[in-house]
C-alpha cells in the first residue's frame, strides 16, 4: 500500500513543484530532478521492475538528457528544463516517451504563443507589484517551459504501468 501511494504521489508532486517553481521563479531547483532520479531508483526495484526495463528507462532518460542539453547549449531551453525533461523521461521509458514529448511540445507551443501574445499588452497596474508576474511578462524573459513539461508528464503518467498496476479500488477500500 505504501508503494502504491508513493507511485500515485511522488512523480506528480515533484512535477507539480517543478511547474510552480518555474512559474514563480523561472528556475527549477536541482533537487526536483534529483528527487525524480532517486524516486525512480528506489521505486523501480521495489515495484518489481526488471533490470532490463530499468536499463531501458535509463536509456530513455539518457537520450532525452543528450538532446535537451544540446537544446540548452543552443539557448532554446533552460538547464532546469533539460534536467527535468530527462528525469521525467526516466520514469516514462521508451514505451511512453513519445506521448510525454508530444504533450509537452504541444503544451509548450501553446504556452509560448500565449505568453508572447500577453506580453504585447501592458501588465495591468494592480499586478505590476507582483515580481513573478512582472518577470513573466517581461519580453526579455524566456518561457517557463517547465510548466509544459510538468503538464505533459501529468497527462502521460496515468497511462504508464506505474499507475495501471495499482488496484485503485482496493486502495480506496482501506
pLDDT higher than 70, residue 172? no
**7, 43 in Cβ contact below 8 A?**
yes
Helices (H) and strands (E) in the chain, counts: 8, 0
The pLDDT, as a whole number, for residue 77 is 92
* pLDDT of residue 20 exceeding 70: yes
At 2, the pLDDT band (50, 70, 90 cuts) reads confident
Give, for 51, the enclosing helix (H) or strand (E).
helix 51-73
**What's the pLDDT score for residue 115?**
94
Is 69 strand, coil or helix? helix
Is the CB of residue 77 less than 8 Å from the CB of residue 71? yes
Q: Can you give the pLDDT at residue 169?
A: 53
Residue whose C-alpha is closest to residue 83's, from 39, 130, 28, 126: 28
| Whether this model's pTM surpasses 0.85 | yes
> Residues of 88-109 as b/e, b for ≥16 C-beta within 10 angstroms?
bbbbbbeebbebbbebbeebbe
Res 116: pLDDT: 94
Least confident of 39-53, 61-75, 84-98, 123-137: 123-137
- Tell me, what's the pLDDT at 168? 58
Residue 31 half-sphere exposure toward CB, CA atoms < 13 A = 3
d(CA 99, CA 41): 22
> Would you place residue 58 in the very low, low, confident or very high pLDDT band (cuts 50, 70, 90)?
very high
Cα 82–Cα 87–Cα 91 angle in degrees, nearest 5: 140
> What mean pLDDT, rounded, does the chain reach?
93
pLDDT at 166 over 90: no
Higher local confidence (pLDDT), 63 or 133: 63
Exposed, middle or buried by CB within 10 Å (0-12, 13-18, 19+), for 22? buried
Amino acid at each position: 500500500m505504501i508503494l502504491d501511494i508513493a507511485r500515485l504521489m511522488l512523480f506528480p508532486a515533484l512535477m507539480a513543484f517543478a511547474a510552480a517553481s518555474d512559474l514563480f521563479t523561472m528556475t527549477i531547483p536541482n533537487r526536483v530532478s534529483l528527487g525524480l532520479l532517486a524516486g525512480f531508483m528506489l521505486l523501480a526495484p521495489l515495484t518489481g521492475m526488471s533490470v532490463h526495463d530499468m536499463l531501458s528507462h535509463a536509456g530513455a532518460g539518457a537520450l532525452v538528457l543528450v538532446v535537451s542539453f544540446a537544446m540548452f547549449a543552443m539557448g532554446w531551453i533552460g538547464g532546469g528544463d533539460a534536467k527535468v525533461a530527462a528525469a521525467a523521461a526516466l520514469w516514462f521509458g521508451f514505451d511512453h516517451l513519445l506521448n510525454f514529448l508530444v504533450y509537452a511540445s504541444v503544451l509548450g507551443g501553446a504556452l509560448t504563443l500565449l505568453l508572447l501574445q500577453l506580453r504585447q499588452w501592458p501588465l495591468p497596474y494592480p499586478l505590476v507589484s507582483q515580481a513573478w508576474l512582472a518577470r513573466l511578462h517581461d519580453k526579455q524573459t524566456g518561457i517557463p517551459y517547465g510548466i509544459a513539461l510538468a503538464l505533459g508528464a501529468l497527462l502521460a503518467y496515468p497511462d504508464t504501468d506505474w499507475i495501471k498496476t495499482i488496484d485503485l479500488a482496493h486502495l480506496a477500500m482501506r
